[in-house]
Amino acid sequence: HGGAIGILIAMYLYNKKVSKKGFIWIFDRLVIPVALIGAFIRFGNLMNSEIYGEPTTLPWGFIFVRNGDDWASHPTQIYEMLYCLVAFTAGIYLYAKKKAFDRQGLIFGVFLVIVFGTRFMLEFIKNDQETFESSMLLNMGQLLSFPFAVWGIWLILKAVAKRKA
């Protein structure tokens, strides 16, 4: 989430000083490679045995030996890597095949819904990253993901309702 906020600030400043085409115009184009980068980051989390899920008996559960575990856990890094690849593929498809860049905010909105909507749901099976989260109904990842997913829905509705510019 910190990375997402940092990108938002950097692109806001880039738009203001350089492109002057609009914040959303930039993000409709930027989120496609960002989704691919997100998949690489999650692969790194898997290799470092970080940010994984609760114990599972499913056949694809991973035993994170590096952390001293002797039980299988959900490899949530792989789940997150997959939704990043879905967002990347959707972005390419919308941009290249559907010319969705004509509907400002559509590609960015779809990205936000896929990435943060899925992130919200996956948090239910991830281990808490901070001890204070154990007493919360929704954890910090969910609380931070919800506004981005809602923003994505709003962008999609706005882009679909608006005629091509």
Q: How far apart are the first and last CA of the chain?
A: 31
**pTM score over 0.75:** yes
Q: How far apart are CA 4 and CA 100, in angstroms?
A: 22
Q: For residue 161, is pLDDT > 70?
A: yes
Summarize pLDDT for 87-143 with one digit per residue, the tens.
999 999 999 999 898 899 999 999 999 999 999 999 999 987 778 888 888 988 899
For the chain, what percent of residues have pLDDT higher than 90?
Answer: 77
Helix (H, G, I), strand (E, B) or coil at 131: helix
Task: Decide: 148 and 112 in contact? Cβ < 8 Å.
Answer: yes
C-alpha–C-alpha distance, residues 6 and 140, integer Å: 18
Three-class DSSP category at 75: coil
The chain-wide mean pLDDT, for the chain, equals 92
